[in-house]
Amino acid sequence: MIRAAAITLAGLVATGTAAAQTTPDTPAPPSDQTYAIHGQATFVAQGVGGFASPYAGTNSLTPHQVKETFDATAFIGVRPWRGAELWANPEIDQGFGLSNTLGAAGFPSAEAYKVGKASPYFRLQRLFFRQTIGLGGERQAVDAAQNMLGGSHDANRIVLTIGKFGVGDVFDTNAYAHDPRGDFLNWSVVDAGTFDYAADAWGYSYGVSGELYTGPWTFRLGGFNLSKIPNGETLETGFGQYQVDAEVEHRHTVAGRAGAVRVTVFRNRGQFSRFDDAVAYALATGGPVDPVPTRRRLTRIGAQVNAEQALTDTFGLFVRAGYADGSIEPYDFTDIDRTAQVGGALSGKGWGRTNDRVGLALVVNGISAAHRRYLAAGGIGVLIGDGRLPDAGAEQIAELYYDLAALKGINLTLDAQHIANPGYNRDRGPANVLAVRLHGGF
């Protein structure tokens, strides 16, 4: 009886508090979803024409080829208690990237994984738990989306995520350039090319992240497992080789238009080789340039800045720039030590196609002098390696896409990319890459 009275009293207090905070002029926040199921399927056909290719190595891009990739994903989420979400993303994948996802540091399709298979296969890409802890402030509505239950949360809050997910789910996000299923395709546009984020060959890792939202600021910190070997299919499980990420974000408005600036740093700790050590070892032994014998416990660091700004209701700009330690081999992403990108996206409202979008991005990727010496001596990188590099130059990429909202939930995209000096090699290219993407989701 006492317990029943206490519960009744608590309910009356909660009801009275809610009534005091809600006025007839303030709409009540939306109720929290308890579960959701979403899905998506994406097909990409991509081809490259002829280009100068006087020689080729193990990781060279091959002229005159067309490849396709397909993936279908379910996003299954439940809310075990208030503020908590549990998500699973089973996925079916199939297909190959151009040259088996090799040949350009800024590879032209982020829908192409480093593992290609002709037959469809199953992967559980994400399985994670998220807890949101309110700290007060305005109550904000949360739209239901893939890996996000609808409802509301405090403007000031802590968000904790643990399990298997992508580093890019939390860090280095951008409203205009971060989704290869909906905007740009090139790896070094979707994320900063220098962001050597922890991941298996499909782009996911086991880890934990924490986010603190306070006013216009967000502070993020995360720890993730690297793969057991560089660019590997199997992840570490006990943080024997690991990455620490930190990010500061500031949201703002300019002339009433939303924008954000993010600064991200990473620290990788594991078994890496210095490029010059690998070359010296090969010269001393008379063998090929191979980083494996000279790998030892090292730290590789990097940083990038990422900004976005809406200029009108229909047009927005973005920029990224990044730097990573170019004396040590990249581990899990791609072969880029310096990068800069600028681009924009425009909705089709001006020509009567409100849900259509067109985007343009320009990217310049570079490598260090030590990295050039390694490739010139015949070294092989994560994605590149022509067997020689007599005339190195910056990899320059332009990407243009038009995304057509064909039907509700179905989009058709035409994408064109121009890659000068693929793999930093002035003797090869330029490569012109065309793609068609068909995407549907619910």
Write the DSSP assignment of 288-301 as a string of letters: ---SGGG-EEEEEE
Query: Which pLDDT band, with edges at 50, 70 and 90, does 230 fall under?
Result: confident
In which band, very low, low, confident or very high, does the pLDDT at 232 lie, cut at 50, 70 and 90?
A: confident
pLDDT tens digits, 287-339: 999 999 999 999 999 999 999 999 999 999 999 999 999 999 999 999 999 99
Q: What is the mean pLDDT of the chain?
A: 93
| pLDDT beyond 50 at 80 | yes
pLDDT given for residue 7 in this prediction:
36
Please, what's the largest Cα pairwise distance for the chain?
88
Domains of the chain: 34-441 (2.40.160.10)
pLDDT level of residue 226 (50, 70, 90 thresholds): very high
Whole-model pTM over 0.85? yes
Query: Please, which contacts does 319-323 make with residues 24 or more away whose CB atoms are closer than 8 Å?
Result: 319/343, 320/174, 320/177, 320/192, 321/192, 322/192, 322/193, 322/194, 322/195, 323/194
- pLDDT tens profile 16-65: 333 334 444 556 677 899 999 999 999 999 999 999 999 999 999 999 99
Of 21-25, 107-111, 149-153, 229-233, the range with the lowest mean pLDDT is 21-25
The predicted pLDDT at position 4 comes to 38
**Structure tokens of 68?**
């396709």
Among candidate residues 376, 264, 384, 381, the one with its CA nearest the CA of residue 328: 381
Give the pLDDT score at 28.
Answer: 67
